[in-house]
Structure 1
Amino acid sequence: MNSNLLKQARGEIEADLVLKNGRVVDVFNERINKLDVAIADGIIIGIGSYKGQREIDLQEKILTPAFIDGHLHLESTMTNVKDFAQQVISLGTTTVVADPHEIANVIGLEGIRYLLDAGLALPWNFNLMLPSCVPPTKFDNSGAVLKAEDLEELITAEGVFGLGEVMDFTGVINGKKDMWEKLSLFDDSFIDGHAPELTAKELNAYLLGNIKADHECTTPQEALEKISKGMYVMIREGSVTRDLARLLPAVNEKNSNRFLFATDDRHPGDLIDEGHINFLIKKAVKQGMDPLQAIKLATINSAEALGLDNIGAIAPGYKADLVLIDDLKNFNINRVFKDGRLVARDGKFILDSVQKEQTSINKNSKIYNSVNIGKIEKSDFILPVGDKYRVLELSKDQIISRESTVSLTSQQLTSSKLVNENLVKLAAVERHKKTGNVGLGLLKGLGLQTGAIATSIAHDSHNIIVAGIDTEDMILAVKEIEKLQGGIVITNGGQVVDKLPLPIAGLMSDESLVEIAERLDSLKDTAFSLGVTHKEPFMTLSFMSLPVIPELKITDKGLFSVKDFQFVPLVIE
């Protein structure tokens, strides 16, 4: 230990920096104290009464630990890592736990290394999980396969934190060899969970994999059972899946330390208009949670759940990652400190502070050339003959799609009949290996009345998913995505009417967060003009191909029942 730091902590010499006249949040006792905070070498060396070589008057504003996002996917913001980081840091989030399984399912280790290098070049605590499920399942085609020995190449790399969300819960429960090889590899690290609606003895078996947390709870009952069995529950508030209001009734004085916040997937517009973890705190308070308890869920609870012992509190030995807010009602961000250095003021990132150079990407690399579609034909998008069909039915504010049925004769499968039934054709088109695979289904609840919408963001294998009324418009949208090498495309009447290129693995843009948000607003307006009723139509569509989320999904190989864990025919009779 540096003796100079000890002298500063004892108050024998002036501290390097002292934050004075602040109301300091004590997350351990859930109270606020008027204290000085002394900082040196990027850590808090004392709280109490101090003098500093440099002093900052906080003018009785509230000083909290900086916020932590326990689980997110950088790719879901659709922007580059630098712009995302600057946005969330300016909103008080200085620690993220990022799972790169989106880009890994497209281009494997190359994609992971890209995000890792970009993340480590920025002034935040960047923790990267190595994805556990590449491919996510055997029920669709992805662009890469990562086994335990592949992950082992990166396990000791700077910034690598643990094993990403374990979505293959059936593989864990049934002792699947390659899944357990990955679990064993990360036995001494944090292992994140993904177990929607898993309960009783199956949950018991799942937890033998040393899986620590879950962000897929959607009811208080589910959360309470998982907590009773030793898990931490991440209260997720993303752009599509908004679980916070549903889960808060599960939080009480006896179990509140087992809950933490996570965003999972948030779109650029929501990051700009609503915020990041600061938004979750504000929303929790509006829902009736005590403000200091909400701050705990965003700070010390997250740190303790994740096993990060030097962040999440304002106490000696902790990193000086701090947020200054005006009050406990509005939570307006006044200043953000990272390692004791000012990195944001009044919600704006200070560009010349601690910024490192980022590695440029070779435009000829696979990262920029990831869309490879095989031969597709009109017949691939025409519904088969039948009298009764299975339907994916959307659930409001959830990525769950329920299974229902519709009785329609082949003669009734007209555009007008689909519109009257609030149905669209839904297809998943393989885009990695030129297989020409097209899975076909029906989707209820999107509201689209004409044209087609396609996106190369289709969790988690990220094939192309397209919803439409007209077959020709669906094909045109898919081919335009291939031309762009990824993106979101809207077609109508045989024309491309709006689009957003996403050339980085077909998932992300190299434009700024603000520019992407503006483009997405335009795309949404176009979609709404065509009848779409969902607030987040593109993200909603992107989850319709995820065969680990109940109940019915679509992959490039066909319709998949998550409940029965097998493919099922579109035509019932």
Structure 2
Amino acid sequence: MERTIENLRQLIRAGRALTPADTVILNGNLVNVMTSEIYPADVAIFQDMIVAVGDVSAYRGPKTQVIDASGSYLVPGLIDGHIHSECSKLSITSFAKAIVPSGTTSMVSGLDEYISVSGLEGLKEVFAEIKQSPLKVFWGAPYKTPYTFPTSTISCNFNPEIHEQVQQWPECFGVWETVREAVQELDEDTLGALSLAYKNRLPIFGCAPMARGNDLNGYLCGGVRLDHESYDHQEVVEKLRKGMHMVIRESSVTHFLAENIRAVTQVNPALARRVSFCTDDVTAKDVVEKGHVDHLVRLAIKAGVAPMTAIQMGTINSAEAYRIDHLVGSISPGRIADILLVDDPATFKVHTVITNGKLVARNKKLTYDLRAPKRSSLLSSALKCNLTVAKDFEYRVQLANGKAKVLSMEVKGPFVRKRRDVTLDVVDHVVHSDTKQDVLMVSVLERFGINGNKSLAFCSGWGLKAGAMASSAAPDDNNIIVLGANAQDMAVAVNHLITEGGGQVVVKDGKILDFLPLPVGGIVCDLEPQEVARREDGINASARLLGCDLPEPLMYMFFLPITAIPDYAITDVGPVDCVALTTFDPILELIEHT
């Protein structure tokens, strides 16, 4: 995307047909998302840019490559407006293999999980990896890291001093995922990042689930431009009416599109022009089986949105929301040549993908061998924590024997945890979990060699009857999270991750049932998407052997450290009350035997 004086000179000459095009696409029907029209048009491409649309006969030279689009429709490359690609457990290279053949050519991301484990130097390596891939990433500098309240432990704390530096980087297109709590509580670091964004004319990307009324007004006064979190369509309507761009999320575990799209289909069709799409957190299995943003376009059409409108939501609307429409989002002269050939706007099946002016995918497969770069020690997955023993996962109290009333964090879906008061046995000073009451132990261990923090609490909703499961991939801080029915298996699970250098594991009776290695930063891998999808199936099946009936057991678990999710969470500093924004003691009362 770099433009030098010499490069611009060449592009302008090519635009005037004074230099032959490198590629022309002929005989296609152009889906013009700028004017909501469909008509026959050819496209000329020079280097990575579209230089002409319409009659391009003057742009052909003896060496110009011709792509015949007969019977196909030309659509701009799709844009995912908010995604943590790391949650797929796929590296950037593997993720590009998964989504580009489906038509997603750009995504907006903070790459924050990479930052949490490898800092700015590791982030620079990821930027270099992106440049070698067919996928563009429009990076937003995280408003701060970690996102947690109170502050948990990660390898790199983003602060205003870092923002002074990174907001000047050419890769930076805004401030990423500014959560409502940070603005509402007038967090000094957050306000510092936002102030710098104003100075640097960068848009501020939001995260404000269930923000309504005065709280929403205050949030918007912080300068937030858009939001990707709304729990119902009334919330979407209010945010749109108050000037926000809305990014409708449909992830692997939060299926919000059907509800949120009602703002357009039932309230006001005119709202559609400021609505776009994101997937936020997706599994490899979902992308392999369903597609990516193309899947969301089809879902919107099925929900009653006109095909042109749905395609605009996946392209130009997103580009305009993030102020990158001068680069991507439409098939227009001067834009980067990201072009899809689809069968029909109504069915929207992508069969050919062009990115940066190059044909890179046909029939759901890349046309060339894309390989991951050699990984440096910055993105190695060494977990810098000591091996554990069973006692590390025993909740010990002063009472020798009796009962303990405890607060158990009960999962009510991936993004809601509610209070559940239960009574557990205390034996030899240890509060025992109880599978009959669906109460497990859960712990987060700091893994960067900084302070050795280890927290303990109680959780419900997983249904485990035995065993344990653990993950070193756990946004937002990517410390080790483990939950289980007994301390012995929890120790075995954690130790396996430490020994193997990161991943996800399921254990029963001291034996490893399944293990998915994540050797890149302990959060992702370079395996093929289809292989990761297969292994996701396997590890989830192993979790179900323990009794868990959640749709994505490991993903539900690794969301537990996110303190922006109501009402409870757990990080390495302890269990967290997400409303009071403070840690809490899960022991409510100790009752001695009489």
TM-score under structure 1 length normalisation: 0.91
Partner of 2:222: 209
Distance 1:335 1:202 in 2: 45
Partner of 2:84: 73
Tell whether 2:68 aligns with 1:62. Answer: no
Deviations 1:8-66 (A, max 9, x none): 3xxx9976543222222121333322222333343333333342445432122121111
Instruction: Indicate which of 153, 170, 181 corresponds to 2:192.
Output: 181
Deviations 1:244-285 (A, max 9, x none): 112111123221112111111111111211111111111222
Partner of 2:3: none
SS at match of 1:19: strand
Distance 1:310 1:472 in 2: 54
Partner of 1:106: 117
The residue type paired with residue 156 of structure 1 is Q
Partner of 1:285: 301
Distance 1:486 1:553 in 2: 22
How far has the Cα of 1:143 moved from its partner?
A: 2.6
Instruction: Indicate which of 474, 478, 494 corresponds to 1:462.
Output: 478
How far has the Cα of 1:348 moved from its partner?
A: 0.9
The residue type paired with residue 364 of structure 2 is G
Asked if 2 retains the 8 angstrom alpha-carbon contact of 1:371 and 1:506, the reply is: no
SS at match of 1:185: helix
Instruction: Indicate which of 577, 586, 594 corresponds to 1:561.
Output: 577
Asked if 2 retains the 8 angstrom alpha-carbon contact of 1:374 and 1:434, the reply is: no
Distance 2:488 2:19 in 1: 76
Tell whether 2:312 aligns with 1:296. Answer: yes
Matches within 5 A, 1:164-563: 164-167=176-179, 169-187=180-198, 188-251=201-264, 252-308=268-324, 309-351=326-368, 359-362=373-376, 364-365=377-378, 367-373=380-386, 378=391, 380-382=393-395, 386-396=403-413, 398-408=414-424, 410=426, 418-433=434-449, 435-563=451-579
Distance 2:117 2:321 in 1: 30
- Change in Cα spacing, 1:82 to 1:402, as seen in structure 2 (3 Å) is same
Deviations 1:418-457 (A, max 9, x none): 3333332222222223644332222222122210011112
The residue type paired with residue 167 of structure 2 is I
Asked if 1 retains the 8 angstrom alpha-carbon contact of 2:108 and 2:137, the reply is: yes
- Change in Cα spacing, 1:204 to 1:135, as seen in structure 2 (3 Å) is same
The residue type paired with residue 143 of structure 1 is S
Distance 1:318 1:32 in 2: 19
Asked if 2 retains the 8 angstrom alpha-carbon contact of 1:448 and 1:468, the reply is: yes
The residue type paired with residue 360 of structure 1 is K
Distance 1:133 1:154 in 2: 12
How far has the Cα of 1:235 moved from its partner?
A: 0.9
Asked if 2 retains the 8 angstrom alpha-carbon contact of 1:394 and 1:444, the reply is: yes
What is the RMSD computed on CA atoms of the aligned residues?
2.6
The residue type paired with residue 196 of structure 1 is P
How far has the Cα of 1:207 moved from its partner?
A: 2.0
- Change in Cα spacing, 1:147 to 1:7, as seen in structure 2 (3 Å) is closer
Deviations 1:480-512 (A, max 9, x none): 111112111111111122111212221112333
Partner of 1:5: 14
Q: Which runs of 5+ in 1 are unaligned?
A: none
Distance 2:387 2:564 in 1: 26
Tell whether 2:24 aligns with 1:24. Answer: no
SS at match of 1:153: helix
How far has the Cα of 1:292 moved from its partner?
A: 1.5
Distance 1:451 1:427 in 2: 14
SS at match of 2:588: coil
TM-score under structure 2 length normalisation: 0.88
Q: Which runs of 5+ in 2 are unaligned?
A: 1-8, 590-594
Distance 1:135 1:259 in 2: 29
Distance 1:372 1:82 in 2: 29
The residue type paired with residue 349 of structure 1 is L
The residue type paired with residue 147 of structure 1 is N
How far has the Cα of 1:377 moved from its partner?
A: 5.2
How far has the Cα of 1:336 moved from its partner?
A: 0.8
Instruction: Indicate which of 133, 143, 147 corresponds to 2:144.
Output: 133
Distance 1:146 1:3 in 2: 40
Asked if 2 retains the 8 angstrom alpha-carbon contact of 1:373 and 1:432, the reply is: no
Asked if 2 retains the 8 angstrom alpha-carbon contact of 1:61 and 1:325, the reply is: yes
Tell whether 2:51 aligns with 1:35. Answer: no
Deviations 1:391-426 (A, max 9, x none): 222223x32222333344547x99998333333222
SS at match of 2:476: coil
Distance 2:95 2:15 in 1: 37
How far has the Cα of 1:222 moved from its partner?
A: 1.8
Distance 2:404 2:378 in 1: 48
- Change in Cα spacing, 1:419 to 1:376, as seen in structure 2 (3 Å) is closer
The residue type paired with residue 87 of structure 2 is S
Distance 2:557 2:44 in 1: 49
- Change in Cα spacing, 1:23 to 1:569, as seen in structure 2 (3 Å) is same
Tell whether 2:163 aligns with 1:154. Answer: no
